[in-house]
């Protein structure tokens, strides 16, 4: 019996470029809640950027790819895993040597800022419907517990500039776009965040289901009892999923929930 369902946001609950959850998906989530099934968000976004879910209620939020877990009030944090400070110190030097490479810094408390904003940043933020952009010197990262970085350039550039060989030694990139990566502490991912949430609510992993579409969803889709890839998911996500449903904008979530007899 499924007692908890975890949903990625972008490309899963909300179509890219859209501003909210489609009506059929909202109704499916409400049907889950009526059956006392817990519903959770599991996203790469910080909670301060989770602003496209309307008034749909969730029981908790696994954010920044598992690095922070918050309860339904969006304030009570039950788990946090920050990037090692030595990595942040090295990042400051790296960013000052490669001033054209854009990063965003995600502090625990919010207040996300960028060192550089270019066309790649603007294009990604437009997909996410993020309008409020703050540019600060990269040194401001030293003032915070940083739970995630975002690197707005390709893996080839990361390799050429030895970003993970010489600078972010305790971090791992995870991505849903070839020109953008979330950077998280090694050992942190959505599966880890899910385990923390399940422990808090006393739910067994065998009673879980998750929906996702991007590379940063692979860890959770492999981890839960039933991992569902959206029809619009990348091929590597579909390969590891237990079930591939319809696209996000073709009621993929409700299609899968009905397929498994959950609603």
- Which tens digit of pLDDT belongs to each residue from 145-163? 999 999 999 999 999 999 9
Helices (H), ranges, the chain: 23-34, 85-97, 119-127, 155-160, 190-201, 218-223, 235-240, 252-259
Q: What is the CATH number of domain 4-80+188-259?
A: 3.40.50.1000
pLDDT of res. 18? 84
The whole-angstrom separation of Cα 170 and Cα 146 is: 13
Give ranges for CATH 3.40.50.1000 in the chain: 4-80+188-259
Q: How many CA atoms lie within 13 A of 208 on its CB side?
A: 25
Q: Where in the chain is the domain with CATH 3.30.1240.10?
A: 85-185
The pLDDT value recorded for residue 20 is 93
Q: Which CATH architecture has domain 85-185?
A: 2-Layer Sandwich (3.30)
- Contact predicate 39/32, CB 8 Å: yes
Prediction pTM value: 0.93
Q: CA 240 to CA 10: how far, in whole Å?
A: 19
What is the percent of the chain where pLDDT is above 90? 92
Average pLDDT of the chain to the nearest whole number: 95
Residues 183-192: tens digit of each pLDDT: 999 999 999 9
According to the model, what pLDDT value does residue 175 have? 78
- Tell me which residue of 83, 40, 84, 85 sits closest to 63, measured CA to CA: 40
Answer whether residue 45 shows pLDDT above 80: yes
Using CA atoms, how far apart are residues 71 and 219, in angstroms rounded to an integer?
Answer: 21
């Amino acid at each position: 019996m499924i007692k908890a369902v975890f949903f990625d946001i972008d490309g899963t609950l909300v179509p890219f470029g859209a501003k909210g959850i489609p009506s059929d998906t909202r109704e499916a989530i409400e049907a889950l809640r009526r059956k006392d099934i817990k519903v959770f968000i599991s996203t790469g976004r910080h909670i301060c950027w989770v602003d496209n879910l309307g008034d749909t209620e969730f029981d908790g939020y696994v954010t920044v790819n598992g690095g922070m877990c918050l309860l339904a009030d969006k304030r009570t944090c039950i788990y946090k895993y920050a990037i090692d400070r030595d990595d942040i110190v090295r990042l400051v030097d790296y960013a000052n040597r490669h001033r054209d490479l854009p990063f965003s810094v995600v502090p625990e408390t919010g207040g996300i800022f960028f060192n550089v904003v270019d066309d790649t940043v603007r294009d990604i933020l437009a997909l996410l419907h993020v309008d409020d952009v703050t540019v600060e010197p990269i040194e401001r990262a030293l003032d915070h517990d940083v739970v995630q970085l975002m690197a707005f350039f390709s893996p080839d550039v990361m390799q050429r500039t030895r970003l993970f060989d010489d600078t972010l030694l305790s971090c791992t990139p995870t991505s849903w776009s070839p020109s953008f990566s979330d950077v998280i502490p090694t050992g942190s991912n959505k599966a880890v965040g899910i385990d923390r949430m399940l422990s808090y609510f006393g739910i067994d992993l065998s009673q879980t289901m998750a929906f996702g579409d991007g590379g940063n969803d692979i860890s959770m889709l492999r981890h839960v009892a039933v991992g569902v890839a959206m029809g619009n998911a990348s091929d590597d996500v579909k390969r590891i999923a237990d079930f591939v449903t319809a696209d996000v904008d073709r009621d993929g979530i409700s299609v899968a929930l009905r397929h498994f007899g959950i609603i």
